[in-house]
Each structure stands twice: as structure tokens, then as C-alpha cells.
Structure 1
Amino acid sequence: MLADTDKLGRARQRHWTPIEREWRLITGSTADEAAFAPFYALKQITVETVDVA
């Protein structure tokens, strides 16, 4: 899943759905570490950050 850092940390996204298998979150490296915590807590998610120019 590709998500803008502004989308991280929101309580509910009505367009998001649970993904029942392993997946990767790709987002900007400027997000606060606390925003990544819920994703790091789940074993089926790999978090990848990229520098945004």
C-alpha cells in the first residue's frame, strides 16, 4: 500500500479495509515515529520509507 504520511495516525479511514495477508506500507520518511508504531506492531506488515523530494 502506498500512503501519504498525512494519512498515518488517523483513527479510522472509511476507505481502508483489513488486509488478511502479508503486505508492505510505503510512505514518506518525514512521518513521526509514533505514526509507524501501529504498523510495526503487526507482524504481517513491512514498513518501507522513502525520502520525498
Structure 2
Amino acid sequence: MANFYKSEVITEMREQGLVPVFYHGKKEVVLNVVEACVKGGSRLVEFTNRGEG
């Protein structure tokens, strides 16, 4: 897993203007959504872990 300084993440959030927030229980769906976000120019995605277990 990559490591980032808090200041780097905050700077990227400001430059990007938004952070897509996403949850889905299936790994394949998550990977497809994140890939689409990256292709659309997003460098940040917040994955919220709301699943069972």
C-alpha cells in the first residue's frame, strides 16, 4: 500500500476539487468504479467500508 503525507492528500483534494466516495460489496465492481474515476481524472477515491463482517 502506498504511503502519503497528510499534506500531500490535502493538497490533492484541493486541486481536484472533489473526492468520489464509494462503497459496494463486490470487489470487481469496486475496481471498475475506481478505474473509471481514474480514467476521468480523479487521483483520489474514498472507499467507505460499510460491508458486513
TM-score by length of 2: 0.34
Higher Cα radius of gyration: 2
Return the structure number with greater helix share: 2
TM-score by length of 1: 0.34
